[in-house]
Amino acid sequence: MESSVQSETSIADGAPRSTSERKAERLAILASLRQEMEYLNTIGKRFVAAFDRFQVHRALLETLQDIYSFSACCILLKSEPYQLFIIPCYPLNPTFLETMIKRIASAAQALDFLQINAQQLARTAYLDAPDNLARNYRETGHLAGPEIGSSLNIPLTVENRIIGMLSLFDEKKGTFDTDMLRWTTMIADYAAIALENVSLRERENALWREAELERQRLELIITSMAEGLLIIDSTGTIVKMNSAAQRLLSQAQLDSQDNVPLRTLARTGDVPWLPRLSKIVEAALKGKTVTNQELVVGTSGESVPLTLSIGASPLHDASEPHATPIGVVAVLNDVTSIKQIDRMKDEFVSVVSHELRTPLTAIKGYTQHLVRRIERRLRKISPSSTQVADPPENYDLRSLNIIQSQTEHLERLVSDLMDLSRVQWSTLNLHFETFYLADLLSDLVRSVQASAEQHTIRIEILPSDTSVTADRERIGQVVGNILDNAIKYSPQGGQITVRLSGQGEDYQVSVIDQGVGVSPEHYAHIFERFYRVHNTASHQYTGIGLGLFVARAIIEGHGGQIWFDSTPGRGSKFHFTLPHTPRPPES
Ligand code: ADP
């Protein structure tokens, strides 16, 4: 290194130098390097200290003024739309200003600023006047222009990417010495990095502001929601609840500040419904979406206690939607008024069905009496007598038979409605006795087959012993109902199979038909009261949608289960299990 410096110096000067001369030369170079580094350090510090766009402008102006005396410095940024900042050193003549903007536009065009427009730039240009500008003017009375003597344009680049352009203008000629170009470019580089940092910070701040605004908006929505809202973390602790939730759950005095998981509160507290709420939350924490869960949070002394319908959904991390939930969001709806209407409806149905029973019994009794009288009279008319072949009594008898069958239909409806009330008020008292299930099924099949000529009813009894302790009449009602449905919903006839099989401690009864079937969207509702897939309005099927509701209550009252599977257009299979001896219903 040293020798190469020496030979270069020798060739340039044409004469060898002494050691002391070389040393002096090296010291001079070092001194100038140190000076340069110190200067660079000063510049660096100025730009690093600049926190916003305008402080960068000041740092730039100050640094450029160290090396030149000029009229104005301009920064054009390649943002969308382009932004032009004019930083004058002293007030500018309007013609000077106008020409300056035109020159900036044409220099920028050459530097690949697409479709830049001088008029537009002039309209949006920002005059960033330093604080001392007015004072300078008052003191000197100096106004730059109108002519531009010299100008200099330097691209502002960050990592080889042009982010803008720096332009310097002066009214005098020859201001921007090419000797200083290296320094000006270096200053421009510092300014470019500082401006890029500012715009990154501005963008970050804007994002924060937006996020904060969004948070406030969400907070407002949550607070003003009529529904109660609970936000629960992965440990099952309530972290947020709105005022509606606070009001609805006031009995438990829950507080999101307590930091205690619901399951602990449920275990240690004496609020009767907390364990159920905790169970719902635990299910959602396992990833299950829970809907329409009823929670009675009022006291039983009230005519209709405060009742909530709860829905709880797992919250998943957006980046890991299949991972374990990070929390739960639960929505609480006050359904007390619906319960109140339900209760009034139930009371009405209960009263009406009881009231209908008395006149029905009378109609039935008197019709039977009349039928017997006419039958007696008809028997007295001898077929060999000369009287008419079809006596009027025959017509009367046919009419009475119709009254009888319609009365029976009405009686079945009334008895379904009364059963509904019994299920609602939990007064469906079951009377257990021991009998053979096979006998009951055979009797039922025989009687149903007698009135269903279009269908063939097959019976399959698989277990050898079919002894069971159950409510014979009620189980007969369940099978009769399912069999009636199998016939009703197989309008083309076909085969119906009643199968009795054994399943450990339980019997299983299945009724299989080849009828219209049920489509999947109805599966979850078919055992609900008054639910009908095949409505009377759109189809010819009579019924009020209570048979399966009551059937489920009867089977569950025995500790069994009832379910079905079906293929639309191909048929349905209804099954229920019945324990050999009744057992408490599964909760
Ligand atoms: P309904 O008196 O209307 O028959 P149910 O409670 O017995 O009331 O049945 C409820 C609904 O389930 C019926 O309306 C019908 O749409 C459907 N359903 C019941 N059994 C069958 C079946 N075997 N095939 C097709 N649909 C059925």
What is the DSSP secondary structure assignment for residue 57, as one 8-state letter? H
Quick check: CB of 526 below 6 Å from ligand 1? yes
Give the tens place of pLDDT for each residue, 309-345.
Answer: 999 999 998 888 788 899 999 999 999 999 899 888 8
For residues 501 and 438, is the Cβ–Cβ distance under 8 A?
no
Mean pLDDT confidence for 428-439? 95
- The total of other beta-carbon atoms located within 10 Å of residue 506's CB is 18
Q: Is pLDDT of 355 > 70?
A: yes
Query: So what's the pLDDT on residue 179?
Result: 78
Residue nearest to atom 2 of ligand 1 (CA): 543
146 preceded by a cis bond (ω within 30 of 0):
yes
Where does the pLDDT of residue 389 fall: very low under 50, low under 70, confident under 90, or very high at 90 and above?
A: low
Give per-residue pLDDT as tens, 53-96: 999 999 999 999 988 889 999 999 998 889 999 999 888 888 99
pLDDT at 401: 92
Shortest-distance Cα residue to atom 23 of ligand 1? 486
87 alpha carbon – ligand 1 mean position (Å): 84
* 536 band by pLDDT with thresholds 50, 70 and 90: low
Long-range contacts of 424-429 (CB under 8 A, 24+ apart): 424/346, 424/350, 425/346, 425/350, 428/474, 428/553, 428/554, 428/557
Burial 219-236 (b: 16+ CB within 10 A, else e): eeebeeeebbbbbbbeeb
Most confident of 19-23, 43-47, 385-389: 43-47
- What pLDDT band is residue 585 in, cutting at 50, 70 and 90? low
CA of 537 to the centre of ligand 1 (A): 14
Long-range contacts of 50-54 (CB under 8 A, 24+ apart): 50/194, 50/198, 51/198, 52/198, 53/85, 53/195, 53/198, 53/199, 53/202, 54/128
Tell me if 513 CB under 6 Å of ligand 1: yes
Lowest mean pLDDT, pick from 198-202, 329-333, 384-388: 384-388
Give the pLDDT band of residue 428 (cuts 50, 70, 90).
confident
Kindly indicate the confidence band of residue 586, based on its pLDDT and cuts at 50, 70 and 90. Answer: low
How far is 433 from 470, CA to CA, in rounded Å? 6
Q: Among 246-260, 316-330, 429-443, which stretch is predicted with the lowest mean pLDDT?
A: 246-260
pLDDT band for position 157 (50/70/90)? Answer: very high
- What's the mean pLDDT in 99-117? 91
Looking at residue 57, its pLDDT comes to: 94
pLDDT of residue 368 exceeding 50: yes
Please, which residues bridge with residue 200 across strands?
Answer: none
Cα(288) to ligand 1 centroid in Å equals: 29
CB of 518 within 6 A of ligand 1: the answer is yes
Average pLDDT, the chain: 88
pLDDT at 40 over 90: no
In this prediction, residue 87 carries a pLDDT of: 94
CA distance 380 to 378: 5
pLDDT for position 28: 86
Token readout for 112 is: 């690949």
* Lowest mean pLDDT segment, chosen from 12-21, 166-175, 455-464, 484-493: 12-21
Query: Is it the case that residue 407 has pLDDT exceeding 70?
Result: yes
Query: Which ligand 1 atom is nearest residue 546's CA?
Result: 6
pLDDT value at 3 more than 80: no
Distance 533 CA to ligand 1 centre (A): 7
**How many C-alpha atoms does 573 have within 13 Å on its Cβ side?**
9
Tokens (6 digits) for 142: 């100096």
- Choice from 419, 521, 548, 574 to test ligand 1 binding pocket (greatest atom count within 8 A of CB): 548
CA atoms within 13 A on the CB side of 300: 2
Q: pTM for the full model?
A: 0.56
Whether the pLDDT of residue 212 is over 50: the answer is yes
From the CB of 532, is ligand 1 less than 6 Å away?
Answer: yes
- C-beta separation of 344 from 415 below 8 A: no
% residues pLDDT > 90 (the chain):
54
For residue 535, which atom of ligand 1 is closest to its CA?
A: 14
Angle at which helices 181-224 and 19-49 cross, to 10°: 20
Whole-angstrom distance, CA of residue 103 vs CA of residue 110:
11
CA of 485 to the centre of ligand 1 (A): 6
Is 60 exceeded by the pLDDT of residue 1?
no
Verify whether ligand 1 is closer than 6 Å to residue 60 (CB atom). no
Cα separation values, 136 from 145, 211, 569, Å: 16, 44, 95
